[in-house]
Amino acid sequence: MRPALVIGVGNPYRRDDAAGREVVRRLRRRVRGDVRLAEHGGEGAALLEAWEGADLVILVDAVASGAAAGTVYRFDAADGPLPATLLRDSTHAVGVADAVELARALGRLPRRLLVYGIEGEHFTAGVGLSPEVRRAVRGVVASILQDLQAGGERDG
């Protein structure tokens, strides 16, 4: 199997938005050489390039769904579309969910793609995660380590 890839998406200077990046930073000390780690700003088209050639891709991003801060979501792209809202919602860029669906339409999805969402609380300019988000980051790190061990074939 080709190496697995974990991508942490976010803006490091927008507090909880950096949750995905923080997950990847923590993973650096915990994974072996056959797992690649990347931090990413989240521009969608570039994501397609970033995961080119990887079999198992795990993407981590902050979300704001209105749920309690630190709530963790886990999606498996194989279970069906992440119904990206319409691109016409934007004038300027393609987001993470759009990237996943674009890749699906183009046959460029990795063999296995898992997406983690971590509910953030503060997205204002600045650095540092909220306590709940920091806790959630620890949980996601543990969960991803399990995913990697199982080669992505783990349910929930």
Q: CB-wise, 34 or 139, nearer to other proteins? A: 139
Q: CB-wise, 32 or 66, nearer to other proteins? A: 66
Q: Least CB distance from residue 151 to other proteins, whole Å?
A: 16
Q: CB-wise, 32 or 76, nearer to other proteins? A: 76
d(CA 4, CA 152): 9
Q: Least CB distance from residue 43 to other proteins, whole Å?
A: 6
Q: Least CB distance from residue 2 to other proteins, whole Å?
A: 20
Instruction: List residues binding other proteins (CB under 8 A).
Output: 10-11, 13-14, 16-17, 41-46, 48-49, 61-67, 73-76, 78-80, 82-98, 101-102, 105-107, 114, 117, 120, 123, 125, 155-156
